[in-house]
Amino acid sequence: MEYVLGILVLSAINLIAVLGLSILTGFTGLFSFGHAGFMAIGAYVAAIFTARLHLPFEVALIAAGIAAGIVSVALGRLTLKLKGDYFCIATMGFGEAVRLLLNNWKWVGGARGWESIPKFEGPQFILPFVVAALAVVFSWNLVNSRQGRNLVAVREEELAAQMSGINVLHSKMTALIVSAVLAGIAGALMANFIGFIAPKSFNMQKSTELIIIVIFGGLGSISGSVVGALLLTALPEVFRAFSDWRLVFYGLAVIIIMVGRPQGLMGGIELTPSGVRKALAARRTRAEFAKISAADTPTDADSPVDGGSK
Tell me which residues touch another protein (CB under 8 A).
25, 29, 31, 33, 78-79, 81-86, 88-90, 92-94, 96-97, 100-101, 103-104, 200, 204-205, 208, 211-212, 215, 219, 244-248, 250-255, 257-259, 262, 298, 300-304
The distance of closest approach from Cβ of residue 276 to another protein in the complex, given in angstroms and rounded to an integer, is: 26
- Rounded alpha-carbon distances, angstroms, from residue 114 to 45, 51, 128, 199: 12, 10, 21, 9
Q: Which is nearer to another protein, 192 or 306 (CB)?
A: 306
Q: For residues 271 and 140, what is the distance between their CA atoms, to the nearest angstrom?
A: 12
Q: Which is nearer to another protein, 34 or 184 (CB)?
A: 34
Q: Which is nearer to another protein, 129 or 236 (CB)?
A: 236
Q: Which stretches within 80-203 are classed as H helix?
A: 84-103, 126-143, 146-156, 158-163, 168-194
The distance of closest approach from Cβ of residue 163 to another protein in the complex, given in angstroms and rounded to an integer, is: 16
* DSSP 3-state of 69: helix
The distance of closest approach from Cβ of residue 247 to another protein in the complex, given in angstroms and rounded to an integer, is: 4
Q: Which is nearer to another protein, 14 or 25 (CB)?
A: 25
Question: Which has the closest alpha carbon to 61: 75, 49, 79?
Answer: 49
Q: Which is nearer to another protein, 4 or 256 (CB)?
A: 256
* DSSP 3-state of 30: coil
The distance of closest approach from Cβ of residue 20 to another protein in the complex, given in angstroms and rounded to an integer, is: 17
Q: For residues 262 and 238, what is the distance between their CA atoms, to the nearest angstrom?
A: 26
Q: Residue 110 is which amino acid?
A: G
The distance of closest approach from Cβ of residue 256 to another protein in the complex, given in angstroms and rounded to an integer, is: 8
